[in-house]
A and B are shown apart, each in its own frame.
Chain A
Amino acid sequence: MKWFIDVSTRKKLLMGFTVMLVFMAIIDVFAYIGIASVNRFQNKMMEVEFPLTVECVKLKNLTNRERLLMSRIIMMRRGPVVEQLNNDTHVTENEINDALQAITGLARGHQDYTSLVGKIIASRNEYVNEWDKQIYPLILNGKMIEAKKFYLQTHLQHFEDIRKVATELVDISTNRNKSFKIQSGRVMTRSLYIFAITGGIAIIAGVVISLYLTRIIATPLKRISTVAEQISYGDLTSKISPTNRKDEIGTLTLTIGMMVESARSMTSEIQGAVKVIASLSNAMVECIERKDLGKEEIIAQIRERAGKLNELGQKLKELVEQYKV
């Protein structure tokens, strides 16, 4: 990971956050795919199978009601009540036709449904024709025995056929609904697993990236700030650990290290100069106190040392001028 340590801190942070964002994006994509799949299955159920089941059940109920009305007509003699009941059967017939129309529309494009709907319509046409053209005219003519015979044989057979096919249709659509529900459940479970796994990986990656960035950025900064604090108290004995990092931390470490070493070197120069000043000063005092030297000699020696002091002063001045204040 040397290359990563050497890239700038800004790029490091950008890369770290980008990796975390990528993980979040992956989680988002998986969540979207999962929810979209579940939604697709639910739409399929609500578009065809569920309304088809409802319409088929409605068809069966209406057919039962119609059959009940026809039974009552068969049980009665000709009269106003029979006509009224026959009108009721026509109303029910219209409702049945509406239901059949809805079923036909829903079954369109589904081969297995359309063939069954075709059977229902065929049986239904025969059932209605037989009533209108054979049974009901016999009732009107008072031939109740012949009418009952038709009603309980072929007409009953058509009624049973309609109910049987409608039940078959309900069974198929119900089974298909169950299948969609199972598939939707599977997709949901798979999505949850993927979501949990990618989420777990993202959390682990986030923690690892955060710890790693802390280790390579915050820890060295803390170390440098500790040394800088010691320098601010005038302690130049602190040592900065050498580093060959090429990023801002590396530059800062080198700069602080150079600064400490420069200050140490400068202080050492000044200490040396102070020692020389002290020794020259002592030598001048000793020279004045000596009894064996004449006045001229003392002046010459003092002049010589004063010259050295002057040179030293010049050197110190040059040193101090190196500071920009």
Chain B
Amino acid sequence: MTKPLLIMCSLFTAIVALGSDHPAVRVAPTDSVGPRPLERQTETAVTRDYLQAWRSMSDALDQNRTDLLNQDFIGTAKEKLADTIREQANLGIHTRYRDGAHDLHLVFYSPEGLSIQLVDTVEYYMEVLDRDKVLAAQHVRARYVAVLTPTEIRWKVRVFQAEPE
């Protein structure tokens, strides 16, 4: 009796999270992030800009538009995503990434304040499409490591990489 109930609850949670326009976000307490204290305002800005980067990435990969990456990505992360978009366009496919839940841990803030690293256990729904035809769809749970660096007005994602949980 307990198992079906758990499955139903999980399914309900997934539907609620994925059905919402905004993902469920949990930010773990940041007591210590290495050599530099993390101010509340910085934590809020980094979290906001990282989540915005997910939205930009999702739109860019769905519409195969590299220009949508400019606001939130920089360096290697931007180059790799732009390459992916070009490959998708060449193959006539596009992908949709809908992030449903993020469990964020800010793990490192460099001494001079020029980079901040976070680990995100993220759940997202991924679809691969050939024009409007869905070729595949999958619910994914992955652990992402991201490094953000400050620019004039916002934090931008410089490293964005998933690893096995």
A binds B: no
